[in-house]
Structures are given as structure tokens and as C-alpha cells.
Chains A and B, each alone.
Chain A
């Protein structure tokens, strides 16, 4: 299971990095969102994988590690704030300069650079 989990996290990371390397703002925001999923999964797994238990005292014999869960819970909410901020920033830039290019305005427009 650990192998599968790690492969999944790796794949998510790879896909999100690929998206972040694009030259337009929208794929980058999608990439950032997906990267935050990957990071959350990674952080979550520092409590190790435990199936069919609860982080609740008295609910089961073998409680899970609640600390990574608490950290990841806030991380999800903050991640949402970050996604929202970046997407609105992208909309604002699009409104101001009429383009969703992330590269510098003066960057030579070469074919296939984005």
C-alpha cells in the first residue's frame, strides 16, 4: 500500500510541476492546486498509513496520529486561500494587460516558448 501511495504522490507532483511550468496563468493555478493536494498527502503520510481507525479517543483501540491531520486540515484551508488569491490575481492581470501570459512583457515572443 505504501508503494502505491508513494507512486500516487509522485505522479501528482510530477503532473502539477509540469502544469506549473506552463506559460499561461490558468494551467499554473491548476498546477498549484494539484501540488497542494500532493503536498497535503505527503504531509498526511508522515503520520504513517493506518486503515479503518479514528483519531478519536475511545473510538478504537489503535488511534491514528492526529497531529499531521490537524496540520493538513489547516493546510487545506490555507491552500484554498492561496488558490483563490492566485486565480484572482490572474484574472486581475488579464484585466489589466489583456493577456494571461506569465512571462515578462518584453520577453521575446518566440514560437513554441509557451
Chain B
């Protein structure tokens, strides 16, 4: 729990600065510093355990099926990094309090910083690889926010985007790698993965997983060739650079490599790739650090170089190299954070970071100069400073390795060359800025910063010296436990300033002498480097991004061009592609089921049906004709239902047909009268081909299906209809009883559709032509007398029929659906024949209420079963003797059917009556009723 609290405190605490944002900045700073201190205190409380080699764990199962747990651990490695993150974080918060100008939003800054801090802590303490990756991505996002903190500057925005793109892409590669590793190891828990080291290294996918993980690590830690985002991230406020780009985020990649060293390291592939990448990065960074004129640029490339050094040590992988790497992580974090803060102070107090302008600041800022000299000396690796010790260890490891056979000598030589460059740019940092003639054209008059702003730097400087003089006393414990976590063996650490006259000492001496020589002769070097065309990574990156965007844009234009017809065509083609191979696999189209003979009536009906369908399609530009043809199709479909023993369906289809055609004729009134142009020949050919293929496929499927024998669950319904449902019409019993829940859903959908239509018609101002397309006015008699009379006479008859159909539905064809539709059709006839006003004056009933009542009746009938301790919608029935009618069966299902009946009437009339009213003064205008 304690461990989880360390990680999650900063996340929760990130809200505090925002809440206190309205007050003075001090509150925000105190809140951020308080949260950090609290987390740090918890870490220190847990530290002794980790230092003694016991590893505290915390496990909360999250998605156990996926192997994903909220799991934390605190071994030596985690402790080393967590200490850096929290300790330096605290100092950076203090520094930032003075650094940020009055215009900058401190709450936002501190909130982002705390988010980042929590994410980093999550990476280093996660005990589950996927959880670690999750935090890894969170650092990418929060660092994006921090780099882009001054979002009004385009450099900040572009730098932030580049950092996010590179580290985010690396994160995806990492995820792929971790998934592979987890798959091989059978678990994502760190212990399990480390224990499965042999299985992972011998697996076929080892190299793939290794490369993917290394891409993640190299992008995050700015290793060659992914180093280019880091200098551009310097657009961030200096406290961010000091924190993210020296001590923490860029070390996440290093941490990852250290964490996975037991599982992945030690193989020839690992050694070659990691060592050489580190070496290349070391030289590349050091060389360009020397050429930069921007203070932070110099430090950024220097950071790249030092990260390369650490990476190289991890690549070498011996116990000494691991110890040197971890020790250098500690040292680099202290001196580089200090140097970044000094760069920030100089920027803050002089208004410039350009080394061509800055010079001679020793008089104006003597104290800062002393701090700069100390931290630079540590960076250069001068004896008595901490950088010297780890660099000596580095030299020793470089000298003692024999990885590249006869060519192994080039490693120590290049390492010394890198160190020379490092000395040169360290000297440059101090000499160019603080010595020579004082600068006269600075934007501000330079002066010392406030004491508290210097305080964190003083702390770092003291650490540089203290560790440099008494390394064993101060750091042996933590480095030893970290090495233990990486190597699994307790190391015998022996860090000392003096090891006697040996090769590393000679290399150090060479590096110092050579570095000063390079600095003195830097003019030559600058002239030489000027011959090369400066290739700005930002422009290259921007070009790649814009090219990719353009390519995708064009592709999208091609695919998604706004033509819905095209999308439908794509869908249909895709359907064909999926279905055709499956159908081609069927050995025999015709099944074994005996087929019915074709009779003459069926033949005539089928031919009529097909002709009507084809006419509907062909005459679609003559809309009324097409609609008439459609009604022929519908009629014959209902006839065929009768023919094939489905009277309920035939009745339903017949009434629905009537209602839909009336609806569509109504709609036709509001549609454009102008007949659209014909499609091009190519388009028609394409559509006919596509439609024909789909039709052919459907017909084939249907034929294959019908000619095969089948087993149906219907026997159950047939057997239980009378004893269980109390009705002989099995279709109706299924609807209101066996599958009553489905029917409840269906009528609800119907009611929702009707409500949706009601809404769509609200406030609609339809086009209402006053004449037909040829300019002839509508007929002046709207409601012919003959139709009026007949319809009025028909209404009671129709209602009676519908009641009859409703009542007999349980035993004979009929039921709520059909009866409801019949009633609705009769009512619609009244609207058509007599007009809306006529109906309204006689029957002004609210159809929304009717629909709702219907659904409620059905629902409460179902719920009623609960009162009798039955399941939802269980029906019960009894037989009663009605006078004149005879034996009558009374089932609760009939109540349910009543709900269906009312819903169907309500919904149908809600749709048609509302729509029909569009042309009258009753048309719906307000929202709501």
C-alpha cells in the first residue's frame, strides 16, 4: 500500500496546485513541494528494506485474465531512480518558483510537473511490464505538456510535438516488444520475466523483441539515431529541462535497459547493438555539444553524450560496467541538473543564452561562476569531483572489454576521444560565459539571482564534491543494492579516487590534456564544421510529418470522397469478397430435401412479382409509378405468405403494405418534383453488376438452405403451445408468451421510432408545391363525397373486425399486431377521406399517450407475474363460458396482446397522422407535445 501511495500521491496531488491556483504562487509551490516531500518521506521510510536486499511488493489484481496487475516493487534499482525523481523534483519545484515569470501560470506548471513525477515513479517501481508501459506513455504525454508549456511559442509547440511523436512511436514499439516478452515468459510480472531469462534468450523471437524494446529505450533516452528530438525539447522552461532532460525522463530508457538486463542482456546481439549505439551516441553528442552556441543546446548534446556513455556501459554488461553505469546515472543527474539550473539563472538574469553574446560574467555573478566551475568540473571528469570517479570506472571497463576481438582496442580509444570532447565543451561552458571581456550588449544588466534560486544548485554542487571525495560513504549502499537488482549478485564495490598509476588514469590525463587542446584550437574545428550544410532536424521532421499528412489526406480523399453511394458499393463488394469463397466451397448446391412441384398459380405469381420488382427498379425516376409497382410486389408477397401456410404473416403484410404505401405517397408530396438526371452508363453498369451479384448470392443461399433438411426447435413450441400457453395459434403464442420478452422489445422499438418521427416532424418547414410538376393546380375537391361516405360507413365495420381478429388471435390467425394495424388503417382512411379537421373535431386523442399506455400495459402484464412468484411474463389462463360466444379462453397473455394492440395503433397513427398534418394548421410546431 505504501508503495502504491508513493506513486499515486503526485497524481492526486496534481489537483492541489490547480485548486490553490487563485491564490498567490507560493501556495501552488508549497502544495507541489509538500506532496513531493510526503512521497519522498514514504520512500525514505521504505528505503531500508530495499537497501537490505529485501524487495517490498504491492499487488492489486486489475485484469488478471490479461495478466495485468497494479503491482509495484521497490528493489535497489527502483530506489535509486525513485530517489532521484523525488529528490531532484523537490529542488526543481523550489527553483521553478523563482524561475517562472509573473505571466506564467504556476498552477498549470506544477500540476503537469507532478503528473510527470507520478508517471516516472510508476515506471521505476512498476512490477508489471504492461503497467510500466502505461506509465511510460504517461511520461510521454506529461512531458509533451511540459515542453509545450509556453504554447504561445511555435518552437515550444513544435518541439513538444516532435518529442511526443518520437517517444510515442518508441512507446508503441516497446509495447510490442513487451507483449512478445510477456508471451514468451507467460507473465508480465517482473520477477517471472526475469526468471524466464533463458526461455526468452533462446526463443526465435528474441531478436525481434530485443530490437522493439531497444527502439523504445533508445527513443526515450535520445540515443543515436533518435537523438534529434532532445535539443528541440529545450524550448521547454529550464526547470523542465533540468528535471526531464537531465535527471529523469531521458533516463527512463536507461532504466528500462537496466531493468531488463537480466532477461535480455548478455547475448552477443545485446552487447553489439547496445554498446555500439552507446558509443556512437557518446561521440555524436560530445562533438555537437562543442559546436552549439546556445547554452541549453550545449547541455542537451552533452546529455545525449552522457546517456550514450551509460548505454554503452549497460551494453558491456559486466558487473563493474553495471556498477559504473548506475553510479554515473547518479552523478550525471546531480551535475547536469545543476548545470541546467545555472543556464536558467544566466538566461533569467542576463536575458540571453547565446554563448556568442555572453562573456565575462565572473564580475557580475561571481557566486554563480563558482557553482558553474564545480558542476562543469564534474561534467568534465576532473579529480575530486564525482564525474571523475564514474568516468574512471568507464575507462576501466572500456579498456578491459574484449568484445570485438582484434578490434577491441577501438573502444577505449574512442571513449578517450569522447572524454576529450567532453572536457572541451565543459571548459567552453565556463570560459566562454564567465571569462574574457565582459559583454556589453546583453538584454538585461546581469546580477546574482536570489539566494533561494541558487539554493538547489548549491545543493547539487556540494553533492558533486562530497561524492567526489567520499564516494563509498555516500553512495556505496544505494549503488550496491541497485547492482544487486540488476545483476542478482552482491557486488564488491570499490570506488576510490586513487587506484595507482594505471590505464584509466592515463586515459583521464589524456582526456584532460586533449580536451583543453581541442578547446584552444576550437576555431579550426568551427571552420571545419561550417563547410557542412546545417541540417535542422526540426525541418526534416516537419517535412516528414507534412508529407505523411498529405499522403493520408489524399488517400482519404480517394476513399472517403463524400459519396454515400460509393460507401455502400464498397460494403457490398466486401460482402461479395467474404461470401463468394465460402459458397464456392459448397460441394453440392441442391440438398437432399424433397422439393415441391411448381403449380401454375405460383408460377404466375412469381413472374408478376419479378416483373413488378424489376419495374420498380427500372422506373425509379418516375416515382409514383415505381411506388405503384412496389405495392404490387408487397401484395404478391402477402399472397405468397398465404400460399405457404402463413396466414398471420399474410394479414400483417397486407395491412403494413397499405399503410407504408400511403405513407410514401404522402412523402412523395414533399419530395422534389423535378425528375433527377439519369445515372451515367458506367454507373448503371456497375450497379447492375453489383446488384445482380448480390441477388445471385442471396438466391443461391436461399436455394441451398431450402433444399436441405433441418432440425428445428419448433417442436417444443408446437408441443407446449396448448398446455403451456393456452392457445392453438402457435405463432401468436410464441409472440405473446414464449418469446414475449422479444415482443416487448419490438413494440418498444416501434414506439421509439414513432417518437423519433414525431421529433423529426417538429418545426419542419417542408416544401409544399401548390401544383404538380407540369404546373396543374391540385384538384379543388380535397375530400370526394363518395369516399367520405364509404369510409365513414367502413369505420365501425373495420373496428369490429379488428376486435374480432384481436380476440381470436390466440387460437386462430390474428392477434394484437394485426388487429392494431387494421384499426390504424381504418383510422388513416378517415384522415384521408375526411381531412384532419374532421377527425380532430371528433376524435382528438393524443397518440403519444396511447403508445405509451400500450407499452406500459405490456410491461406491467409481465411484471404482474412477479406478484404470483412467477418469472417475468409468465402467462396463466383459464376457460370461461361467455354467453352467445361460447367457450372462451381467458389468458393473461391477452392482456399483453392488448398492450401490443394499443402500441401498434398509437405508433402507426403517431407516424401517419402527424405526417399527414404537415399540410394543415395542426402541424407540429413546438418542441414537446
Among the 9-residue stretches B96-104, B715-723, B881-889, the one with 4 or more Cβ atoms under 8 Å from chain A is B715-723
For B718, the chain A residues whose CB sits under 8 A away are 57, 63, 66
Task: Flag whether B445 is at the interface (Cβ < 8 A).
Answer: no
Contact yes or no, A12 B598, CB < 8 A: no
A29–B418 alpha-carbon span in the complex (Å): 75
Cβ-defined contact, B670 with A107, below 8 A: no
Chain A residues within an 8 Å CB radius of B701? 42
At the interface, yes or no: B641 with Cβ under 8 Å from chain A?
yes
Give the chain A neighbours of B595 by CB distance below 8 A. Answer: 1-3
- Chain A, interface size: which category? 35 or more
Q: Quick one: CB contact mask for A1-41 with B, threshold 8 Å, 1 for yes?
A: 11111111111111111111111111101110110011011
- Please determine whether B664 and A30 come into contact, CB atoms closer than 8 angstroms: yes
Provide the residues of chain B in CB contact with A45, threshold 8 Å.
Answer: 702, 705-706
Q: A1-B602, A19-B620 are in contact. Are A44 and B767 (CB under 8 A)?
A: no
B757 CB contact (under 8 Å) in A51, A77, A84? A84
Residues B648 and A73 in contact, CB atoms below 8 Å apart: yes
Q: A44-B649, A91-B766 are in contact. Are A34 and B915 (CB under 8 A)?
A: no
Output the nearest chain A residue to B735 by Cβ-Cβ distance. Answer: A70
**Minimal Cβ-Cβ distance residue in B for A112:** B680
Contacts of B676 in A (CB 8 A): 23-24, 114
Distance, CA A34 to CA B610, complexed state (A): 12
Say which one of B38-46, B113-121, B629-637 lies at the interface with A: B629-637
Q: Find out whether the CB atom of A66 lies under 8 angstroms from the CB atom of B734.
A: yes
Which residues in B have their C-beta under 8 angstroms from that of A19? 616-617, 620
Q: Are A14 and B691 in contact (CB under 8 A)?
A: yes
Contact of A67 among B597, B653, B712 (CB under 8 A): B712
Contact with A along B706-718 (1 / 0, CB 8 A): 1100101110011
The answer to whether B54 has its CB under 8 Å from any CB of chain A is: no
Task: Confirm or deny: B765 has a beta carbon within 8 angstroms of a beta carbon on chain A.
Answer: yes
**A102 CB, min distance to chain B CBs, angstroms:** 5
Contact B680 A12 (CB under 8 A): no
**What is the minimal beta-carbon distance from B358 to any residue of chain A, in angstroms?**
55
* B708, chain A: closest CB distance, angstroms: 9
Judge whether B641 and A23 touch: CB under 8 Å. no
| Chain B 743-797 interface residues, beta-carbon cutoff 8 Å to A | 743, 746, 749-750, 753-754, 756-757, 760-761, 764-767
B614 contact from A3, A15, A22, Cβ within 8 A: A15
B605-658 with Cβ < 8 A to chain A = 606, 609-610, 613-614, 616-617, 620, 623, 626-627, 630, 633-634, 637, 640-641, 643-649, 652-653, 656
- The one of B596, B633, B765, B812 that contacts A49, using a Cβ cutoff of 8 Å: B596
Choose one: A3, A31, A66, A107; the contact of B703 (CB below 8 Å).
A3
B56 beta carbon closer than 8 Å to chain A: no
A57 and B722 contact, Cβ closer than 8 Å, known pairs A19-B620, A64-B646, A73-B731: yes
Tell whether, in the assembled complex, residue A55 and residue B730 are in contact, meaning their CB atoms are under 8 Å apart.
Answer: yes
Hey, which chain A residues are within 8 Å of B904, CB to CB? 77
Q: Cβ of A85 and Cβ of B728 under 8 Å apart?
A: no
B186 on interface, CB distance cutoff 8 Å: no
B712 with A82: CB separation less than 8 A: no
Among A14, A46, A54, A100, the residue within 8 A (CB) of B671 is A100
Chain A residues lying within 8 Å of B692, measured Cβ to Cβ, are: 14
Which A residue sits closest to B706, measured CB to CB? A2
Q: Which residues of chain A come closer than 8 Å to B721, judged between CB atoms?
A: 57, 66
Q: How far is the CA of A52 from the CA of B757 in the complex (A)?
A: 40
Q: Please give, as numbers and ranges, the residues of chain A lying within 8 Å of B649 by CB-CB distance.
A: 44, 69, 72-73, 76
Q: A15 to chain B: which residues have CB within 8 Å?
A: 613-614, 616-617, 691, 695
With beta carbons under 8 angstroms apart, the residue of A2, A33, A69 that contacts B660 is A33
Q: Which residues of A contact B812 (CB under 8 A)?
A: 56
Inter-chain contact A13/B643, CB cutoff 8 Å: no
Chain B residues within 8 Å of A29, by CB? 664, 667
Q: Give Cα A18 to B564, complex, Å.
A: 14
CA gap between A98 and B671 in the complex, in Å: 9
Residue pair B627, A30 in contact (C-beta under 8 Å): yes
Residues of B within 8 A of A22 (CB): 565, 620, 679
Partner of A55, one of B637, B646, B696, B705: B646
In the complex, which residues 657-677 of chain B have their Cβ closer than 8 Å to any Cβ of chain A? Answer: 659-660, 663-664, 667-668, 670-672, 676-677
Assembled-state Cα–Cα distance A83/B728 (Å): 32
Residue of A nearest to B733 (CB): A66
Once the chains bind, are B652 and A77 in contact (CB under 8 Å)?
Answer: yes
Chain B positions 728 through 743: 1 when the CB is less than 8 Å from some CB of chain A, otherwise 0: 1111001100010011
CB pair B699–A73 under 8 Å, yes or no, is: no
Do A98 and B767 touch (CB < 8 A)?
yes
A61 within 8 A of B: no
Q: Which chain A residues border B766 with CB–CB below 8 Å?
A: 91, 94-95
Q: Report which residue of A44, A77, A82 has the largest number of chain B beta carbons within 10 angstroms of its beta carbon.
A: A77
Whether A92 contacts B764 by the Cβ 8 Å rule is yes
Residue pair A92, B760 in contact (C-beta under 8 Å): yes
Q: How far is the CA of A85 from the CA of B703 in the complex (A)?
A: 32
Known contacts A34-B616, A34-B630, A69-B648: does B690 contact A55 (CB below 8 Å)? no
Question: When the two chains form the complex, which single residue of A4, A10, A77 contacts B750, counting CB atoms closer than 8 Å?
Answer: A77
Q: Complex Cα distance A46/B679, Å?
A: 37
Q: Does B926 contact A (CB under 8 A)?
A: no
User: Which has the most chain B C-beta neighbours within 10 Å: A33, A88, A98?
Assistant: A88
Residues from chain A with a CB closer than 8 A to the CB of B606 are: 4-5, 7-8
Q: With the chains together, A23 CA to B806 CA distance in Å?
A: 42
Q: Could you tell me if B568 and A49 are in contact, using CB atoms closer than 8 angstroms?
A: no
Chain A residues with CB under 8 A of B597: 1
Please state if B603 and A4 are interface contacts (CB–CB under 8 Å): yes
B568: chain A residues at CB < 8 Å are: 20-21
A34 adjacent to B705 (CB under 8 Å): no
Interface centre among B643, B681, B692, B754 (most CB of A within 10 A): B692
Contact A95 B667 (CB under 8 A): no
Contact call B739/A70, Cβ cutoff below 8 A: yes
Query: Contact at A64–B645, with CB atoms within 8 Å?
Result: yes
Q: How far is the CA of A99 from the CA of B750 in the complex (A)?
A: 28
B645 touches A54 (CB 8 A): yes
Once A21-B569, A88-B761 are accepted as A-B contacts, the answer to whether A55 and B663 lie under 8 Å apart by CB is no
Per-residue CB contact flags for chain B residues 513-547 toward chain A (1 = under 8 Å, else 0) read 00000000000000000000000000000000000
What is the bound-complex CA distance between A67 and B821, given in angstroms? Answer: 21
Contacts of A30 in B (CB 8 A): 616, 620, 626-627, 630, 664
Residues of A within 8 A of B477 (CB): none
Task: Find out whether the CB atom of B644 lies under 8 angstroms from the CB atom of A50.
Answer: yes
Do A56 and B728 form a contact, CB below 8 Å, given A18-B617, A47-B712, A72-B649? yes
Could you say which residues of chain B place their CB within 8 Å of the CB of A23?
Answer: 565, 676, 679
**Pair B680/A113 contact, Cβ less than 8 Å:** yes
A23 CA to B625 CA in the complex, in Å?
Answer: 18
Residues of B contacting A57 with CB < 8 Å? 718, 721-722, 728, 730
**Contact between chains at A37 and B637 (CB < 8 Å):** yes
> Are B598 and A81 closer than 8 Å at their CB atoms?
no
Minimum C-beta distance from A94 to chain B (A): 6
CB distance from A44 to the nearest CB of B (A): 7
A113 and B649 alpha carbons, distance in the complex (Å): 39
Q: Say whether, besides A4-B602, A57-B718, A77 and B746 are in contact (CB < 8 Å).
A: yes
Collect the chain B residues with CB atoms within 8 Å of residue A5's CB: 606, 702, 706
7 additional A-B pairs beyond A81-B907, A92-B761, A94-B766, beta carbons within 8 Å, are A2-B706, A52-B645, A55-B648, A76-B652, A76-B656, A77-B652, A105-B562
Between-chain CB contacts (< 8 Å), 27 pairs: A2-B596, A6-B699, A10-B698, A12-B613, A19-B617, A21-B691, A22-B679, A30-B626, A30-B664, A42-B701, A44-B649, A49-B596, A51-B643, A51-B645, A55-B648, A56-B813, A58-B722, A66-B717, A67-B714, A70-B731, A78-B749, A94-B671, A94-B766, A98-B767, A99-B672, A103-B562, A113-B563
Closest 8 CB pairs of A and B: A10-B699, A112-B680, A14-B695, A104-B562, A6-B703, A107-B562, A1-B596, A66-B730
Binding site for B on A (CB under 8 A): 1-27, 29-31, 33-34, 37-38, 40-42, 44-59, 63-67, 69-70, 72-74, 76-85, 87-92, 94-95, 98-100, 102-108, 111-114
